[in-house]
């Protein structure tokens, strides 16, 4: 069988099995199991188990567990409520105040949640009903929440960035830090979009009476945000200044979140155990996919398909920017249909040799790959965040959610174009902090 048939046949078969609704890890195991049987007969199954063992004991992956634990404690401890009230007091009198407040919240919430779906569901349930009651436009409100939710996997700490770093063999610290400037730039682009939309059509936001909080209230609001900011500093700052490894920083962040939760006094022993238990379950779900996807990558490597692809790509007379465009377009399109984590597991081993051949800077490339993956989550018709928001706000029409998302999809694509033309926006901060 030629390498092209092996590579594209295996991927097509995998996507087909994904679409049946079988859990992603089982799809990988099914395809890998079949391949092992064909290639090695039953003797290969021992290697199969050893590969799962090897992935599940890869120390770098403990970072995923530690950051998930930190996020779980933060979201259950009451920190989010403190943030909500503080930001409400700090965002001043601007037209469409709640839109800006929602974006600011998403950018900050993204840090503990790390998941776009979680942010969309949280804001859809907590912020959106109030906005709709006050007369804010449902379409723009949904768009702002979805755009804001995209920031979660980009702004550190991001579990997706940790997974990419581990699979693509890129420094996790660099990849996490590389998300800071793109996250802020995208947030500013979304703010700009809201401002322009309100200029064109002022009826999209109601005229609200605004009682300016006293200076004392504002200072108090800032002070209340200090513990949360310290936790984020502990978890990201320690990595940035090379004081601790990403896993250690995640654990220290979890400890800081635990101490903050003692201050809020909302959690009892059972709540802590549940936070740790749900973190373990989420980690198990992620790691079992990784373990099975790594098997898939190993099988592809064994057949020689990936090496052949690398050789062919190296000998092709294709402009590197054309190839870059194709490599970015593939996750953009496929993420409308296939889960982000599953897709990255398939694409990373295939893209890795191409990066070397075409000389793409790894941190820059993988950060843009990550942004591309997450934008697929708000792209109709199958983006995951679209459905998370619809589930959180059932009165929203699906058509309304779809049309609201496009503006933010294209704004994010413009952001990707900006980061492609000015790679320094991604690579500058990790380089400076080295």
Q: Which residues bind another protein (CB under 8 A)?
A: 18-26, 29-30, 33, 45-46, 48-50, 52-53, 56-59, 61-62, 65-66, 69, 76, 244, 247-248, 250-252, 254-255, 270, 272-274, 276-285, 287-289, 337-339, 341-342, 382
Q: Minimum Å distance from CB 114 to another protein? A: 15
Residue 415, exposed/middle/buried by CB under 10 A (0-12, 13-18, 19+)?
A: buried
Task: Select from 172, 175, 164, 169 the least CA-distant residue to 353.
Answer: 169
Q: Minimum Å distance from CB 369 to another protein? A: 19
Residue 415 CA to residue 420 CA, distance in Å, equals 9
CA distances (Å), origin 22, targets 15, 16, 26, 373: 11, 10, 7, 21
Cβ-based neighbour number of residue 47 at 10 Å: 15
Q: Minimum Å distance from CB 384 to another protein? A: 10
Q: In the complex with another protein, which residue's Cβ is closer, 28 or 408?
A: 28
Residue 183 CA to residue 179 CA, distance in Å, equals 6
Q: In the complex with another protein, which residue's Cβ is closer, 50 or 85?
A: 50
Q: Minimum Å distance from CB 270 to another protein? A: 6
Number of H helices and number of E strands within the chain?
A: 24, 0
Report yes or no: 103 and 113 within 8 Å, Cβ to Cβ. no
Q: Minimum Å distance from CB 231 to another protein? A: 14
Task: Select from 350, 418, 33, 10 the least CA-distant residue to 192.
Answer: 418
Q: In the complex with another protein, which residue's Cβ is closer, 272 or 302?
A: 272
Q: In the complex with another protein, which residue's Cβ is closer, 111 or 117?
A: 117
Q: In the complex with another protein, which residue's Cβ is closer, 75 or 372?
A: 75
Q: In the complex with another protein, which residue's Cβ is closer, 45 or 428?
A: 45
Residue 344 CA to residue 347 CA, distance in Å, equals 5
Q: Minimum Å distance from CB 311 to another protein? A: 32
């Amino acid at each position: 069988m030629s390498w092209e048939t092996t590579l594209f046949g295996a991927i097509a078969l995998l996507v087909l099995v994904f679409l049946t609704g079988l859990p992603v890890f089982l799809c990988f195991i099914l395809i890998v199991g079949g391949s092992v049987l064909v290639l090695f007969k039953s003797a290969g199954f021992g290697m199969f188990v050893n590969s799962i063992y090897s992935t599940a004991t890869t120390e770098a992956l403990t970072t995923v567990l530690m950051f998930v634990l930190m996020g779980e404690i933060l979201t259950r401890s009451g920190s989010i409520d403190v943030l909500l009230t503080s930001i409400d007091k700090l965002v001043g009198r601007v037209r469409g105040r709640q839109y800006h407040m929602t974006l600011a919240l998403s950018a900050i919430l993204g840090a503990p949640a790390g998941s776009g779906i979680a942010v969309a569901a949280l804001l859809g349930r907590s912020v959106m009903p109030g906005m709709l009651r006050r007369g804010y436009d449902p379409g723009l409100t949904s768009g702002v929440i979805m755009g804001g939710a995209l920031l979660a996997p980009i702004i550190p700490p991001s579990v997706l960035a940790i997974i990419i770093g581990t699979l693509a063999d890129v420094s996790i610290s660099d990849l996490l830090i590389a998300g800071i400037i793109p996250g802020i730039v995208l947030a500013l682009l979304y703010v700009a979009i809201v401002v322009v939309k309100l200029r064109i059509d002022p009826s999209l936001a109601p005229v609200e009476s605004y009682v300016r909080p006293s200076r004392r209230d504002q200072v108090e609001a800032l002070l209340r945000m200090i513990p949360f900011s310290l936790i984020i500093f502990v978890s990201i700052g320690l990595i940035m200044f090379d004081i601790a490894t990403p896993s250690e920083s995640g654990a220290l962040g979890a400890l800081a979140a635990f101490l903050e939760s003692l201050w809020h006094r909302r959690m009892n022993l059972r709540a802590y155990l549940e936070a740790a238990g749900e973190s373990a379950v989420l980690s198990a779900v992620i790691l079992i996919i990784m373990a099975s996807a790594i098997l898939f990558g190993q099988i592809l490597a064994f057949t020689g398909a990936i090496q052949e692809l690398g050789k062919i790509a190296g000998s092709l007379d294709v402009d590197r920017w054309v190839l870059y465009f194709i490599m970015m377009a593939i996750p953009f399109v496929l993420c409308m249909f296939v889960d982000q984590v599953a897709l990255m597991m398939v694409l990373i081993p295939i893209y890795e040799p191409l990066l070397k051949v075409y000389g793409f800077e790894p941190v820059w490339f993988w950060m843009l790959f990550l942004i591309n993956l997450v934008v697929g989550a708000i792209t109709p018709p199958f983006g995951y965040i679209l459905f998370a928001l619809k589930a959180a706000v059932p009165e929203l029409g699906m058509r309304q959610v779809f049309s609201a998302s496009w503006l933010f999809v294209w704004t994010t694509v413009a952001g990707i174009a900006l980061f492609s033309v000015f790679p320094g926006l991604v690579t500058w901060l990790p380089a400076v902090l080295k």
